[in-house]
A and B are shown apart, each in its own frame.
Chain A
Amino acid sequence: MSEIAVQVDNLSKRYTIGARREKYATLRDRLVSGASRLFGRGTGPEADATNAMWALKDVSFSVKQGEVVGIIGRNGAGKSTLLKLLSRITAPTHGRIEITGRVSSLLEVGTGFHAELTGRENVYLNGTILGMKRAEVTEKFDEIVAFAGVEQFIDTPVKRYSSGMYLRLAFAVAAHLQPEILIVDEVLAVGDADFQKKCLGKMEGVADQGRTIFFVSHNMQAITRLCKRVIYLEDGQLRHDGSPHDVVKTYLHSGLGTMAVREWLDPVKAPSSRAARLWAVRVRNEEGQYTDQIDIRKPVGIEIEYEVLQPGRKFRGAIDVCNEEAVLLFVALEADPEWRGRIRPPGRYRSIAWIPGNYLAEGTMIVNVSLDTVEPLDYLFKVRQAVAFHVVDTTDGDSARGNYAGSFPGVVRPLLKWTNEQDLSNTQERQSVSGPT
Chain B
Amino acid sequence: MDMAQSESIINSPTQKIIIEEKRSGLLRVDWAELWEYRELLYTLVEREIKVRYKQTAIGVSWVLLQPLIAMLIFTAIFGRMAKMPSDGIWYPAFILTALLPWGYFSQAITRSGTSLVSSANLVTKVYFPRMLLPLSAIVSPLIDSLLSMGLLFGLLMYAGIPLTWKVITLPAFILIAMLTATGVGLFVSATNVKYRDVGHAIPFVVQIWMFVSPIVYPVSLVPERWKLLYSLNPMVGVIDGFRWALLGKSAPDPFMMGLSLIMVLVVLIGGIVYFRQMEREFADII
Asked if A pairs with B, the answer is yes
Q: In the assembled complex, how far is the CB of residue A369 from the closest CB belonging to chain B, in whole angstroms?
A: 44
Judge if A19 is at the interface, Cβ distance under 8 Å: yes
From A88, A92, A108, contact of B17 by CB (8 A): A88
Closest to B55 in A: A116
Residues of B within 8 Å of A102, CB to CB, are 12, 15
Chain A 197-240 interface 0/1 with B at a Cβ cutoff of 8 Å (1 = within): 00000000100111100000000000000000000000000000
Q: With A84-B283, A89-B283, A96-B18 in contact, is A125–B126 under 8 Å at CB? A: no
Q: In the assembled complex, how far is the CB of residue B2 from the closest CB belonging to chain A, in whole angstroms?
A: 10
Interface contact A97-B18, CB-CB below 8 Å: yes
Judge if A20 is at the interface, Cβ distance under 8 Å: yes
Judge if B284 is at the interface, Cβ distance under 8 Å: yes
Interface contact A97-B39, CB-CB below 8 Å: no
Residues of A within 8 Å of B39, CB to CB, are 128, 133-134
Interface contact A125-B43, CB-CB below 8 Å: yes
Q: Which of B231-263 contact A (CB under 8 A)?
A: none
Judge if A405 is at the interface, Cβ distance under 8 Å: no
Residues of B within 8 Å of A157, CB to CB, are 54
Q: In the assembled complex, how far is the CB of residue B214 from the closest CB belonging to chain A, in whole angstroms?
A: 30
Judge if B19 is at the interface, Cβ distance under 8 Å: yes
- The size of the chain A interface, using a CB distance under 8 A, is 50
Q: With A124-B43, A209-B1 in contact, is A97–B126 under 8 Å at CB? A: no
Judge if A107 is at the interface, Cβ distance under 8 Å: yes
Chain A 121-165 interface 0/1 with B at a Cβ cutoff of 8 Å (1 = within): 100110011110110000000000000000000000100000000
Interface contact B40-A107, CB-CB below 8 Å: no
- The size of the chain B interface, using a CB distance under 8 A, is 43
Q: In the assembled complex, how far is the CB of residue B285 from the closest CB belonging to chain A, in whole angstroms?
A: 6
Judge if A305 is at the interface, Cβ distance under 8 Å: no
From B6, B15, B195, contact of A30 by CB (8 A): B195
Q: Which of A339-373 contact B (CB under 8 A)?
A: none
Residues of A within 8 Å of B195, CB to CB, are 27, 30
Judge if B9 is at the interface, Cβ distance under 8 Å: yes
Judge if A93 is at the interface, Cβ distance under 8 Å: yes
Interface 9-residue window, one of B61-69, B117-125, B166-174? B117-125
Please, how many angstroms separate the alpha-carbon atoms of A38 and B187 in the complex? Answer: 14
Judge if A99 is at the interface, Cβ distance under 8 Å: yes
Interface contact B122-A96, CB-CB below 8 Å: no
Q: With A20-B285, A114-B51 in contact, is A92–B125 under 8 Å at CB? A: no
Interface contact B15-A27, CB-CB below 8 Å: no
Best-surrounded residue of A38, A90, A125 (most CB of chain B within 10 A):
A90
Residues of A within 8 Å of B122, CB to CB, are 111-112, 129
Judge if A397 is at the interface, Cβ distance under 8 Å: no
Residues of A within 8 Å of B54, CB to CB, are 116-117, 157
Judge if A312 is at the interface, Cβ distance under 8 Å: no
Q: In the assembled complex, how far is the CB of residue B235 from the closest CB belonging to chain A, in whole angstroms?
A: 24
Interface contact B40-A103, CB-CB below 8 Å: no
Please, how many angstroms separate the alpha-carbon atoms of A96 and B18 in the complex? Answer: 7
Closest to A96 in B: B20
Judge if B209 is at the interface, Cβ distance under 8 Å: no
Residues of A within 8 Å of B283, CB to CB, are 84, 89-90
Judge if A180 is at the interface, Cβ distance under 8 Å: yes
Interface contact A178-B5, CB-CB below 8 Å: yes
Q: With A19-B285, A121-B50, A208-B1 in contact, is A92–B126 under 8 Å at CB? A: no
Judge if A404 is at the interface, Cβ distance under 8 Å: no
Judge if B47 is at the interface, Cβ distance under 8 Å: yes
Q: With A20-B285, A125-B43 in contact, is A93–B14 under 8 Å at CB? A: no
Q: Which of B45-79 contact A (CB under 8 A)?
A: 46-47, 50-51, 54-55
Q: With A90-B283, A208-B1 in contact, is A98–B18 under 8 Å at CB? A: yes
Known: A178-B5, A178-B9. 20 other contacts (CB 8 A): A19-B285, A27-B197, A38-B274, A84-B283, A88-B127, A90-B284, A91-B19, A95-B20, A99-B16, A112-B47, A112-B126, A116-B50, A116-B54, A117-B47, A121-B47, A128-B43, A129-B40, A129-B43, A129-B122, A134-B39
Provide 10 A-B residue pairs closer than 8 Å at the C-beta atoms, listed in order of the A residue.
Answer: A19-B284, A87-B126, A89-B283, A91-B281, A94-B21, A98-B17, A99-B18, A100-B15, A107-B125, A208-B1
6 A-B pairs with the lowest CB-CB distances in the bound complex, closest first = A88-B127, A91-B280, A97-B19, A96-B20, A128-B43, A116-B54
